Amino acid sequence: MDTIESRIDSQSDEYKANYEAMEKLVEQLKAELDKARNERSEKARARNTELGKLTVQQRLDLVLDPNTPWLEIAPLAAWGMYDKRIHSAGSRAGIGLIQGREVLVHANDPMIKGGTIYPLGVKKTQRCQTIAMENRLPLVMLVDSGGAFLPLQSEIFPDADDGGRIFYNQAWMSKMDIPQITAVMGLCTAGAAYIPAMSDHVVHVNRTGAIFLGGPPLVKAATGEEVTAEQLGGAMVHCQQSGVSDYFAEDDAHACQIVRDIVAVLPRRPKAEIPMRQPEDPLYPPQEIWGIVPRKLVTPYDVREVIARLVDGSRFLEFKALYGPTLVCGWAYLHGHLVGILGNNGVLFSDSSLKATHFIQLCDRQGIPLVFLQNISGYIIGREYERAGITKDGHKMVNAVATATVPKFTVIVGSSFGAGNYGMCGRAYSPRFLWMWPNAQIGVMGGEQAAEVLVSVKNEQLIREGAGPMPPQLVEAIKKPIVETALKEGNAYYSTANLWDDGILDPAKTRDVLGLAISASLCAPIEPRRQGHGTFRM
């Protein structure tokens, strides 16, 4: 593999201006993450202490191996939504090490509206389950939740991908041999009672933990019976009488210890094997990405400069370097793992689409994970290209991405527009993980283009009706809201709030995050594609 030779001048005005712009975006990101982790009302804090409970952070610290990496999932889910304080959609989740083993941990935050579940909370729990299933990770749930956030119950309960799906997934995970451990650290009311009930192992904290299908107020209303939460579904009831829970814990800390003990005795499967080397830092510091990424999305730059700051030794074996130059493909080691990388260097043409198809097939057959660096305004359009069959060449790439069974990882490093999003493994193409950089934008097309399309449709309609083309003021009045909405709803924060991604990343941290994610993905077997036809040279 050759070392990528960087052409970046870190003393140039352009580099410095880019660096400053990205620094601001990363500072904003850090501030938002800090708020999500720490902004809680005094009332909620006092209540948590009064009940003798630990905070979510303290629980995570006790359950995870000390001083080990934590790959947080969707820390800014529900950002700016509801009352703007349902941070992280009401729970913390991530992949960490317990007893040296990669485990997905999901913990409700009782200091956010009693840990109740909002619609985005349902989506986040299901996203965690998908990650656990795809990567075969044991799932630990630290439950402390008032159940459905009742004012929004119609958005949480009835549909196929609403709350009930969580328990359906639990049943399938059990069938798939994915261990599920629940620690009952607060209420598990009504439907939420099924979280421990559907788990393989249930740890129950005395006094604060309770499981019941109907809470004390409902029991009183329905039957007149007066009963406390502890009498109804406390640890003694369920560990001694009903058998719903398996392990009695004195307090939160004890429960965390028991969870660790359970993980220690889970059967261990060997990780999938891919070609590995001793990890090595890139030759060029990842921090320099801040100065490389242009301030405007439309400004082109060479994605090899980013690859050089992500991969071991900045070494890269480029595939078809002279063919289809708007897509860079090649092999590199990342934190010691061999991966196939695809990065955009412009619009996708027929040749770049065919090159991608060929490359993806090779990686899929060889069992090599794929990393997509997505910065794409779309596939080329126009008469010449339609005649040359861009749609069928794009189809081959989309088909190869969709059906590749090796682990796929996507980082949206700039634009993510149109079918380019599909071909470069957008969310709908099931990458194991997908992240956005804070400068990234996503949408069917850019706001300006969308506005132009709508103006032209309206004009044609008016001309057809004999009313002539629109006056310039009307054109502006149509364009402005479309451009504004596209900017707002295509923004990385809007994306992450809606869980279209697994988080916004500081570009300088991308290498480490990818390393952790690739390692976690190897907990699931990789079966290189052997059936059907061979690789088609495109």
Q: Is residue 187 at the binding interface for ligand COA, with CB under 6 A as the rule?
A: yes
Q: Is residue 189 at the binding interface for ligand COA, with CB under 6 A as the rule?
A: yes
Q: Out of 119, 147, 407, 447, name the contact with ligand COA by CB under 6 A.
A: 147
Q: Which part of the chain contacts ligand COA (CB under 6 A), choosing from 66-74, 100-108, 183-191, 271-279? A: 183-191
Q: Is residue 221 at the binding interface for ligand COA, with CB under 6 A as the rule?
A: no
**85-95 b/e (C-beta count within 10 Å ≥ 16 → b):** ebbbbbbbbbb
Q: What is the 3-state secondary structure (H, E, C) of 163-205?
A: CHHHHHHHHHHHHCCCCEEEEEEEEEEHHHHHHHHCCCEEEEE
Q: Out of 121, 196, 215, 343, name the contact with ligand COA by CB under 6 A.
A: 215
Q: Out of 75, 121, 138, 146, name the contact with ligand COA by CB under 6 A.
A: 146
Least gap, CB of 114 to ligand COA (angstroms): 3
Alpha-helix runs per DSSP H in 39-155: 42-50, 56-63, 119-135
Least gap, CB of 144 to ligand COA (angstroms): 8
Least gap, CB of 149 to ligand COA (angstroms): 5
Q: Is residue 150 at the binding interface for ligand COA, with CB under 6 A as the rule?
A: yes
CA 399 centroid distance within chain: 22
Least gap, CB of 195 to ligand COA (angstroms): 12
| Residue numbers 484-513 binding ligand COA by CB under 6 A | none
Q: Is residue 211 at the binding interface for ligand COA, with CB under 6 A as the rule?
A: no
Q: Across the chain, how many H-helices and E-strands are there?
A: 20, 16
Residues 238, 204: contact at Cβ < 8 Å?
Answer: yes
Least gap, CB of 47 to ligand COA (angstroms): 5
Q: Is residue 125 at the binding interface for ligand COA, with CB under 6 A as the rule?
A: no
Q: Which part of the chain contacts ligand COA (CB under 6 A), choosing from 147-155, 340-348, 394-402, 433-441? A: 147-155
The C-alpha atoms of residue 226 and residue 211 are separated, in whole angstroms, by: 17
Size of interface with ligand COA, in residues (CB under 6 A) = 14
Look up residue 434 and give its two tokens.
Answer: 């997908």
Q: Which part of the chain contacts ligand COA (CB under 6 A), choosing from 145-153, 167-175, 194-202, 247-255? A: 145-153
Task: Fill in the amino acid letter for 415.
Answer: S
Burial of residue 527 (number of CB atoms within 10 Å: 0-12, 13-18, 19+): exposed
First-to-last alpha carbon distance for the chain, in angstroms, is 23
Binding mask 79-118 for ligand COA (x = CB under 6 A): ----------------------------------xx-x--
CB closer to ligand COA, 198 vs 263: 198
Least gap, CB of 304 to ligand COA (angstroms): 51
Q: Where are the beta strands (DSSP E) in 377-530?
A: 408-417, 433-436, 441-443
Angle formed by the axes of helices 164-175 and 119-135, to 10°? 10
Least gap, CB of 125 to ligand COA (angstroms): 14
CA 301 centroid distance within chain: 26
Alpha-helix runs per DSSP H in 389-466: 390-403, 418-423, 447-464
Burial of residue 121 (number of CB atoms within 10 Å: 0-12, 13-18, 19+): buried
Burial of residue 332 (number of CB atoms within 10 Å: 0-12, 13-18, 19+): buried
CB closer to ligand COA, 3 vs 223: 223
CB closer to ligand COA, 95 vs 148: 148
The C-alpha atoms of residue 314 and residue 306 are separated, in whole angstroms, by: 10
Alpha-helix runs per DSSP H in 40-186: 42-50, 56-63, 119-135, 164-175
Binding mask 22-61 for ligand COA (x = CB under 6 A): -------------------------x--------------
Q: Is residue 208 at the binding interface for ligand COA, with CB under 6 A as the rule?
A: no
Q: Which residue is nearest to ligand COA (CB)?
A: 146
What residue ranges bind ligand COA (CB under 6 A)? Answer: 47, 113-114, 116, 146-150, 187, 189-191, 215
